[in-house]
Amino acid sequence: MKTFITLLTLFLVSIFPMIAQNNLSAKEIVKKADDKLRGESNIAEIKMTIVRPTWQREVTLKSWSLGDDYSLILVIAPARDKGTAFLKRDKEIWNWQPTIDRTIKMPPSMMSQSWMGSDFTNDDLVRESSTVNDYNHKMLGSESVDGRDCYKIELIPKEDAAVVWGKIITWIDKKDFMQMKAEFYDEDNYLVNTMLGKNVKTLGGKTLPSVMEVIPAEKTNQKTRIEYLSLEFDKPIQASFFSIQNMKKVK
């Protein structure tokens, strides 16, 4: 009898996390995936490769973020763009261009524009909008992506939200809460971009896709690839780090 109770206890302990995960709402799943990628803070080095039918370009970046409200992205290569920086503080975003010694405050109208000629928008890189707070979430079911069982979730922007996309459909891994795929639609419900998470590995102690590819729907032989070269989570960063003055001198 004692052995049976012990085995029953071990069984319940082992399946409880799965039961808890199955009871999560669509919004809670999106938040878990978002929190996992962000952490309390993160510091990353990233290689972005822009692929076009007749040429290819690489940009190396360093980024810092603190929660949802602060982020700073610095271009460290190629030489012609080195020192260019992008800063987000709450809902305000600035761009520092050292070649012309000028700081530009970016209006909301620029959020949907291409970032440095890539298939990412300005909003994608500095995350002005929040997939957790600016959208309503609906569970569409389950599908397999790259051999992983995923939640399929639809995100529709709230009426008062200043967002780029008219709809997002995302596939989030049920086991590790990784975003494995996302489709981005415009206001007329036309597919614009598809993002794929690839090459899953341990980054900063977490299981995450180390590569993200954005593929435009109507542009042949075109994509943008982001690869995490390094990623650290929960390193001490003060909010004061994310200042216009520091944006001009950070390395």
**Backbone φ, ψ for residue 195 (5° rounding):** -110, 135
Instruction: Convert the pLDDT of each residue in 137-173 to its tens digit.
Output: 999 999 999 999 999 999 999 988 878 899 999 999 9
Confirm whether 18 is domain-assigned: no
Overall number of domains in the chain? 1
Confirm whether 10 is domain-assigned: no
Give me 137's structure tokens: 């979430």
State the pTM of this model: 0.83
| pLDDT the model gives residue 199 | 96
Confirm whether 6 is domain-assigned: no
190: number of CA atoms within 13 Å, CB side? 5
Instruction: Convert the pLDDT of each residue in 174-191 to its tens digit.
Output: 999 999 999 999 999 999
* Spatial separation of the C-alpha atoms in residues 46 and 229, rounded to whole Å: 5
Confirm whether 133 is domain-assigned: yes
Confirm whether 9 is domain-assigned: no
Confirm whether 150 is domain-assigned: yes
Confirm whether 48 is domain-assigned: yes
Query: What share of the chain has pLDDT > 70, as a percent?
Result: 89
Neighbours of 179 (CB within 10 A): 24
| pLDDT the model gives residue 21 | 52
Instruction: Convert the pLDDT of each residue in 204-230 to its tens digit.
Output: 999 999 999 999 998 999 999 999 999
Confidence of residue 233 (pLDDT cuts 50, 70, 90): very high
pLDDT higher than 80, residue 127: no
For position 203, which CATH number holds? Answer: 2.50.20.10
Its domain, for residue 68, covers 25-247
